[in-house]
């Protein structure tokens, strides 16, 4: 029988039945397990001589994982296959006197680190300028100040939400100081940092603060208030930013972290100073900041073509 149509062994069918009746996995998940076991069956059947999957050893499993990689499967797909195989052999050892788990020490190739998404400078200006109208109402002025501050200072969502209009002895963990053009925030690991506020963001903040007094009710401290006079929630900011980006015609799923990524990417492109960007972002390790260097590959290639003696065209 061809490997592609070879039926699963009885032990694999019993294992799948166990997943269905005892663990009550969904139809979709069961189908995924069956697919991965069928792949294992096909790989073992292609060996000469063919080996029953119950008798496979770790060397064969490693070879099969390498074959999947050679076929173009990514690290996550290979990890999913190994996980399904590992579960089968664990069950086999517990309930059917299997010889052991040949997948126990087999690891998939490392997945590449996903690059943060950043807007282009044109898209960023399109987003930020979309709130500037002659008939802007207070809520638009508030939102414009929020978006400008995100991009100006690279704040995390939680850091921006926690900002007070000024330092207060009640225990501010973040506050605005427009006189010095700075915000102080408390980030991950309870680490405090002070970052500058750009001129455009400072102007937007002053415009918002001029109308903010009409929103204050019981708590005078939060910099950004809801229409009920409470500290504005992160969820509301996320929803309003996404809707604003759609209205502005920005072809991306824009959320607060996109503006933080855009801040870091654009600043790095302009300055090339990785250490400074690390400090502004509040990264404990330079490795977390280095990912932004990958975003700037096109610019680096252009610099290389223009500057390297062997790259310059006459």
Query: So which residues are the catalytic ones?
Result: 156, 188, 257, 260, 283, 292
CA of 95: how far to CAs of 37, 53, 88, 244, in Å?
A: 18, 16, 11, 57
Helix (H) or strand (E) holding 151: helix 138-153
* C-alpha span between 276 and 291 (Å, rounded): 14
- The neighbouring-strand residues paired with 196 are 182
* C-alpha span between 37 and 55 (Å, rounded): 14
Q: Give all strands (DSSP E) within 155-242, no chain letters.
A: 175-177, 182-186, 192-196
Residue of 214, 213, 212, 219 whose CA lies nearest to 170: 219
Q: Does the CA dihedral 145-135-118-301 come out positive or negative? A: negative
Give the pair of three-digit tokens for residue 164. 């007070």
């Amino acid at each position: 029988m061809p490997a592609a149509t070879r039926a699963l062994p009885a032990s694999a069918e019993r294992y799948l039945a166990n997943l269905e009746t005892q663990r009550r996995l969904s139809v979709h998940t069961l189908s995924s397990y069956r697919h991965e076991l069928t792949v294992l069956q096909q790989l073992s059947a292609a060996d000469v001589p063919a080996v029953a999957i119950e008798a496979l050893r770790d060397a064969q499993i490693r070879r099969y994982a390498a074959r999947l990689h050679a076929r173009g499967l990514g690290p996550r797909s290979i990890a999913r296959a190994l996980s399904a195989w590992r579960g089968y052999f664990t069950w086999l050892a517990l309930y059917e006197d299997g010889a052991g788990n040949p997948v126990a020490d087999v690891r998939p190739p490392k997945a590449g680190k996903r690059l943060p998404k950043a807007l282009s400078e044109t898209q960023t200006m399109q987003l930020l300028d979309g709130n500037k109208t002659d008939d802007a109402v207070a809520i638009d002025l508030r939102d414009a100040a929020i978006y400008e501050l995100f991009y100006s200072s690279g704040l995390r969502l939680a850091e921006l939400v926690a900002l007070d209009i000024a330092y207060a002895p009640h225990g501010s963990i973040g506050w605005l100081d427009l006189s010095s053009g700075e915000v102080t925030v408390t980030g991950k690991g309870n680490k405090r940092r002070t970052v500058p506020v750009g001129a455009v963001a400072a102007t937007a903040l002053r415009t918002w603060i001029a109308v903010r007094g009409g929103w204050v009710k019981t708590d005078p401290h939060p910099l950004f208030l809801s229409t009920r006079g409470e500290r504005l929630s992160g969820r509301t900011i996320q929803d309003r930013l996404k809707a604003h980006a759609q209205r502005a015609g920005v072809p991306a799923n824009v959320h607060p972290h996109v503006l933080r990524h855009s801040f870091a990417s654009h600043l790095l492109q302009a300055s090339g100073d990785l250490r400074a960007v690390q400090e502004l972002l509040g990264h404990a390790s330079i490795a977390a900041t280095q990912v932004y260097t990958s975003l700037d590959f096109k610019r680096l290639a252009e610099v290389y073509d223009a500057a390297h003696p062997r790259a310059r065209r006459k």
